[in-house]
Structure 1
Amino acid sequence: MIQLGEQLPEVQFQRLTDNGVVTQTTAELFKGEKVVLFAVPGAFTPTCSAAHLPGVVELQQKFYDKGVDRIICLSVNDAYVMDAWGKAHNAGDILMLADGAGKFSQAIGLAADTGDFGGLRSRRYAMLVDDGVVKQLQVDEPKQFEVSKAEVMLALL
């Protein structure tokens, strides 16, 4: 698993924009930025939709007030699903990012095989990344939602 002080691996992500699906790299998303990245096992899944994303949406301005440049929500889903999920929850400025093949999740050691539920997914976590370097990392145990909550991350800033 990635550790505090380590650089994020260089991978490609997708997101849906008004001009269609675009691919962006780790460097493009994190270089020179203070970013709160939170990852969920799946868009439109119960805890992710009822608590995790809504908690970040509710507190997003407080993150920006504390000097965060960008908030990213990541899941091993496609860009269309992530965009629809963000719109369904009025995610505002939160960047809804697809790790479609799970390459990022695997590269940082936070992928999970959920078997018949959905196959390769991300574990639930939140991290603070400054210029591509991990400064805080909060990883929930499987089927838990405690340490990656928006309130916990906000308190760590």
Structure 2
Amino acid sequence: MSIKVGERIPSVTLKHLTESGMQEIGTDEIFAGRKVVLFAVPGAFTPTCSAKHLPGFVEQAEAIRAKGVDQIVCMAVNDPFVMHAWAKANNVNGRILMLPDGNGTLTRALGLEMDGTAYNLGLRCQRFALVAEDGVVTALNVEKPGAFEVSSAEAVLKLL
């Protein structure tokens, strides 16, 4: 069952690559006491994710922050090295926290996994965007399979 508005973001620990090397980061650390936009993509370097989804949030990062958002997070079921390279390739430059969910731990805890085996992708995350305040989901937009409408940066700006 998927997470719903009014529910708390599950407490999990993930690893991400920083300029100081591999670091653990917990969802409690990311979400506690903050207003956070989390958007998720099926995979780094995939067509829609690279051409539209991530670039839209990079372009709109300041406008989103101007609406009182403390942190913008991009999550994908990819390893930390891929997420780090994807951030560099898209000139993220620290505007977005690139959160690798390599084992799908957070994806499964949110109940937002998708089966991408037909495309040789294995378990992946559905495309979605959510807003959370102090770890509680206040808005959630999950895309229909193959769609890119309700989780874009522009759609999130309308939620804020």
TM-score when normalising by structure 2: 0.96
Q: Does 1:99 align with 2:101?
A: yes
Two-structure CA RMSD over aligned residues (Å): 0.8
Task: Note the residue ranges of structure 2 that are not aligned, 5 or more in a row.
Answer: none
Amino acid at match of 2:131: L
TM-score when normalising by structure 1: 0.98
Per-residue deviation, residues 97-119 of structure 1 (Å, max 9, x unmatched): 01110011111110011004210
What is the aligned length?
157
Secondary structure at 1:58 match in 2: helix
2:141 and 2:14 mapped to 1: Cα distance? 21
1:149 maps to which residue? 152
Where do 1:34-73 residues align within 5 Å?
A: 34-73=35-74
1:25 maps to which residue? 26
1:76 maps to which residue? 77
1:36 and 1:65 mapped to 2: Cα distance? 13
CA deviation after TM superposition for structure 1 residue 13, in Å? 1.6
Where do 1:110-129 residues align within 5 Å?
A: 110-115=112-117, 116-129=119-132
Task: Note the residue ranges of structure 1 that are not aligned, 5 or more in a row.
Answer: none
2:83 and 2:132 mapped to 1: Cα distance? 21
CA deviation after TM superposition for structure 1 residue 15, in Å? 1.3
Aligned partner of 1:108 among 107, 110, 117: 110
CA deviation after TM superposition for structure 1 residue 142, in Å? 1.1
1:111 and 1:141 mapped to 2: Cα distance? 13
CA deviation after TM superposition for structure 1 residue 7, in Å? 0.3
Q: Does 1:133 align with 2:136?
A: yes
1:14 maps to which residue? 15
Deviating above 6 A after TM superposition, structure 1's stretches of 4 or more consecutive aligned residues are none
Secondary structure at 1:97 match in 2: strand
Identity of aligned residues (%): 53
